Structure 1
Amino acid sequence: MAHDTQSALRVELARAKVNLALHITGQRPDGYHLLDSLVVFPQIGDRVALEPAGSLDLRLEGPFARDLDGPSENNLILKAVRAFAESAGIPVPNVRLTLTKRLPVASGIGGGSSDAATTLRLLEDFSGSYLPEETLHALALSLGADVPVCLFPEPQIMRGIGDELSPGPQLPVCGIVLVNPKVGVSTPDVFKNMSKRDNPPLPDLPERFSSVAQLTECLADCRNDMQDPAVSLCPEIGKVLSALEADTRIAFARMSGSGATCFGLCELRDAMDIERQLRTAHPGWWIASGSLS
């Protein structure tokens, strides 16, 4: 990626945000849920490109571009550009942003939040205006509860409503397969369908996981408290989990976020082969694989 002049095209992967574990630990009086989550960012994502232009412009392309609702000026990426300029005290930059939307929309893997966070990083680099960490965090939070965690796409623990962040464990070399049945599930509906909201928090996690086996053993002691309510609303999620669990090379499978995307963890060398076989067996599903970190 070139950094020398403002004429350079800058491109970055807006990585999917995967909740390896998601514990719902309570609910605030204002309705926001409290959570405890181990979040990771595999090398699977949307592509955000930024280049100088005559005016601020957003182009949408890729397999899921048509699923982005409403006029493009309402897109979170453009909101991020305007909010960044205001925070940095600079004019709104004349840039063309091209979003190649490869991740399914509203699918529990934070695609829109990651796109916005990636845009903020690219804008800092392009403008040379680097915001203090607290300012950048507050700006990201104003765009959405999941945007701050996506600013630094490395393992993190999210707490509170998602705004309290701390570094997560170092990950082993590990493959991940993401599967979405291309069926939407509404986050508010999943929350409504939960019978219990004051669940135990995450157990203490080690500083690093030295193997896939150690990671999956730890995850087996954790939960996604939204998985059962989501499966009961959307049985397709159960079919995805069954397909992942049926493959002996997959060491662990679970739903991410409020769904409907599920993940399977495996040895990195097996990931692409598992993806190919799942694509053949389930041509209607969205499937992607890559490295966990």
Structure 2
Amino acid sequence: MITSIATDMDGTLLNGNMEVSEENRTAMKKAQELGIEVIVATGRSYKEARFALEGTGIECPIIAVNGAEVRDARGEIVQFTAIEDDLAYDLYRRLKDVGVYFEVYTNQATYTDDAEKAVELLIDIVLSAHPDANVEDIRERAKLRIEHGLAKKVNDYEEIIRDTSQHIYKFFVFSTDRELLQRAADRLDGIDGVAVSSSGNENLEITNEQAQKGITLENYLTSKGLSLEDALAVGDNYNDLSMLERVGYSYAMGNADTNIKKAARFETSRNEESGVARAIEDALERSAVK
């Protein structure tokens, strides 16, 4: 029997309008009623994740910022894994030297030094899963990142990096210039203590090497006395790989990259077709007869 469910958000739980479908919502609520631990595992900050779940009635633990932070259903931090201060400053300087746009995620907020690029970053994530989506419609929704304070505008990151009260969770790099993005990736190559992943065609996500969805999910389930063998995970992108590789029931979205589909045991439908609900239904059936 499935005892836990972990779902990614963008390109997975959320559709092209960045909303949870009624089918997905119903399936998750049904799972909770069956006593299954339902978890959202996302690259988003906790605040952005909760914003996306607003109005769904879904209250559950959230593995945020790719595993850098875990909050319980009440929103209390139960675990966090930050980048060491000296390493965070080194990463900051490397990215500044390359000249690529990036955001800084901390325990206090998500920061941007360019509001327009903060909007473009979210558009890129959505378009990665929905290439045919209306860009202007997505843009209007993406602007809510700034309007609702989900990403705070600052003039200079250095003060934040040097502020010892702020734990640096993630650097989120974005560029439509593939050569520039590759230069940034090259500058980060081989650095001990960090993990580099992505959640879209034109971004990089840099966290502590222990702040990965799979590692954090495993630690969380262990703390709850739950088995990875009886866990379901569903995702669509490279920052989901670490959890897809660990669980007994791994599902790639129909809109996932080919390599993600190869890594997962099963494939579900696209996020526009409530693929999370289909995965939950399928896994419950499979686990009942194993």
Q: Same fold (TM over 0.5)?
A: no
Which of these two proteins has the greater Rg computed from alpha carbons? 1
TM normalised by structure 1 equals 0.28
Q: Which has the higher strand share?
A: 1
Q: Which has the higher helix share?
A: 2
TM normalised by structure 2 equals 0.28
